[in-house]
Amino acid sequence: MWMFGRVFMAAVVIVVWKCFEKLWLRPMRVQREMRAQGVRGPGYKLIEGNSREIFDMRVASMSQPMELSHRLLPRIQPYVHTWIQTYGTNYLQWDGLNPQLVVTDAEMIKEVLNDKDGAYVKPEPPVYFRKLFGDGLPYSAGEKWAKSRKISTHAFNGESLKASQPSAELMLEGWRGSDGKEIEVYGMFKLFTADVISRTAFGSSYEQGKNMFEMLSELTLIAVRNSFKNKLPVISKFWRSADDAESERLENEVKGLVLKMVRSREEKVLGGEASGYGDDFLGLLLKASHDADESRRIGAEAVVDECKTFYVAGSDTSNTLLTWTVFLMALHTEWQEEARKEVFEHFGGGKPHPDGLSRLKTMSMIINECLRLYPPTPGFLRHVEKRVTLGNLELPHNLNIFISTLALHHDTKIWGKEAQVFNPGRFSEGVARATDKNIAAFFPFGIGPRTCVGSHFAVMEAKIAIAMILQRYKFTLSPNYVHSPRQFITIRPQLGVQIIITATNYNDAEHGSMQIALP
């Protein structure tokens, strides 16, 4: 009995010591080590780190609409905005128990994102994001990542853009009869981009995939709602919240829908109705999952995870790009007019074709300026697994690096005093000239081996939709519009973007007589 008591006491002491080590000693050690190298930051607070402060700053900055300007950093990442001024270009903040080095130094960003030796890896996503993406491309690594990356690069090529036109026509059909009226575009582009990704990747339409989108939207909501909550490591293993139960249900239902889609394709091949799985993304995934060569084969789980990933990644990002581009063109009608002239020069009133799309210079400048001011993905993370040297810093293991795209894109040291001004002209000689060949000055799609696999697709999809809108309508910002950008994974307009549309009349002397292909 006496012996048992001693063993029990020893076990209690060990557990208490381990907790003390994790919750206090390690954070203090990391903080000391970074401070000794000149990296300062807001002090660590027991268990919550700086999560509460960050959450409160975000709530305060986004509680009200903002003035009609593009000063987004203080609103979307108020903590980065405030703390780089207080602590310097790179500083240490705490995401709960996890140290996070915020890096806004361009050279260091290049070093981290260009890494090919596995020194900086993708961090383990929060539990709800894992349910959303599974082990899909954004989070996978090694051979699994390489196989999926190859398939998706092949699937989202120029050819795949054919789907954008029918989707745009369907959307514009809904604009008919709204001449001189107000329409809200964020909601419309949401359906448009969902329709494009459904057709391109899965050979279906938004209507057919509606259930899937709705469930994934609910999962996204849960993921975002929980992203600033810190879970205690031991307690969270035993206590399940309502969000845990709901997200598990949604995860299972989404999986069921994907498997149904997969079985339907497989049955067509088995039944002789189709000779192959198809050339779209789903078809290529299925081909790979049945590959006789084991080195090329992917598992059934991978098919499900990649489908979920592309449904999510392929719609919301493009949606926000389109929305903010239209918003900026509605605000700066002189640029809208320039873009319209160019569209008519290349396509007249006919369908946009790939050759002409790649030559739309003004449109590319406008889209780049939009991606600079309103980058859909305003920041992302890397994880330091083993001790590593970054620039002149020695980084301890188990540290995350937060890279703020938004901070770099709005940095007056890079973009000059007018960094917050919408001026597509800065891209007139191309991106390399605008950034003085500094790739970390403008990286809306990331840098290095993990850059966005859908970047070309997203830009072309936006160009097609905008060209088709410009051919048919002129638009201005509605007096009802309220400027309220908000981060919800991507930077979205919290209250939508309302514009007034007027049918374009190009049968005038300036542009000659043109037959506009109305849907």
Query: How far lies 471's CA from each of 167, 316, 476, in Å?
Result: 16, 25, 15
- The stretch among 167-175, 183-191, 218-226, 451-459 that binds ligand HEM (CB under 6 A) is 451-459
Shortest CB 459 distance to ligand HEM, Å:
7
Compare residues 48 and 306 and give the one whose CB is closer to ligand HEM. Answer: 306
Compare residues 202 and 457 and give the one whose CB is closer to ligand HEM. Answer: 457
Pairing of β 393-395 and β 388-390: antiparallel
Laid out side by side, the sheet with 182-184 consists of: 182-184, 498-503, 473-477
Q: Residues 450, 472, 474, 492: which binds ligand HEM (CB under 6 A)?
A: 450
Shortest CB 147 distance to ligand HEM, Å:
11
Interaction between residue 123 and ligand HEM (CB under 6 A): no
* Own/partner long-range contacts of 32-37 (Cβ < 8 Å, ≥24 apart): 33/394, 33/396, 34/92, 34/99, 34/101, 34/393, 37/392, 37/393, 37/394
- What lies within 8 Å, CB to CB, of 249 at 6+ separation is none
Compare residues 44 and 443 and give the one whose CB is closer to ligand HEM. Answer: 443
Task: Give me 299's structure tokens.
Answer: 């598992």
Q: Residues 286, 321, 477, 499: which binds ligand HEM (CB under 6 A)?
A: 321
Shortest CB 195 distance to ligand HEM, Å:
13
Q: Residues 73, 183, 453, 499: which binds ligand HEM (CB under 6 A)?
A: 453
Task: Give me 381's structure tokens.
Answer: 């993370």
Interaction between residue 134 and ligand HEM (CB under 6 A): no
Task: Give me 186's structure tokens.
Answer: 């964020």
Interaction between residue 314 and ligand HEM (CB under 6 A): yes
What does the alpha-carbon distance between residue 245 and residue 247 come to, in Å, rounded to a whole number? 6
- The stretch among 170-178, 332-340, 413-421, 443-451 that binds ligand HEM (CB under 6 A) is 443-451
Residue 499 has, within 13 A of its CA and on its CB side, a CA count of 26
Pairing of β 98-103 and β 399-404: parallel
Query: How far lies 287's CA from each of 126, 410, 490, in Å?
Result: 31, 44, 32
Interaction between residue 457 and ligand HEM (CB under 6 A): yes
Q: Residues 41, 378, 424, 454: which binds ligand HEM (CB under 6 A)?
A: 454
Compare residues 166 and 348 and give the one whose CB is closer to ligand HEM. Answer: 166
Compare residues 373 and 500 and give the one whose CB is closer to ligand HEM. Answer: 373
Shortest CB 376 distance to ligand HEM, Å:
4
What does the alpha-carbon distance between residue 487 and residue 508 come to, in Å, rounded to a whole number? 43
Contacting ligand HEM within 458-487 (CB under 6 A): 458
- Are 351 and 165 within 8 A, CB to CB? yes
Compare residues 93 and 318 and give the one whose CB is closer to ligand HEM. Answer: 318
For 48, other C-beta atoms within 10 Å of its C-beta total 18
- Are 356 and 346 within 8 A, CB to CB? yes
Count helices and strands (H / E) in the chain: 23, 12
Q: Which residue is nearest to ligand HEM (CB)?
A: 454
- The stretch among 46-54, 75-83, 90-98, 312-320 that binds ligand HEM (CB under 6 A) is 312-320
Compare residues 372 and 450 and give the one whose CB is closer to ligand HEM. Answer: 450
At residue 265, φ and ψ (nearest 5 deg) are: -65, -45
Residue 452 annotated as binding site? yes
Shortest CB 448 distance to ligand HEM, Å:
7
Compare residues 92 and 151 and give the one whose CB is closer to ligand HEM. Answer: 151
**Helix, strand or coil for residue 161?**
helix
Contacting ligand HEM within 348-407 (CB under 6 A): 376-377, 380
Contacting ligand HEM within 197-216 (CB under 6 A): none
Interaction between residue 102 and ligand HEM (CB under 6 A): no
- Are 485 and 374 within 8 A, CB to CB? yes
**Helix, strand or coil for residue 378?**
coil
Q: Residues 79, 91, 156, 186: which binds ligand HEM (CB under 6 A)?
A: 156
What does the alpha-carbon distance between residue 469 and residue 501 come to, in Å, rounded to a whole number? 10
Which parts of this chain interact with ligand HEM (CB under 6 A)?
137-138, 149, 156, 309-310, 313-314, 317-318, 321, 376-377, 380, 444-446, 450-454, 457-458
User: Which residues define the annotated binding site for heme?
Assistant: 452
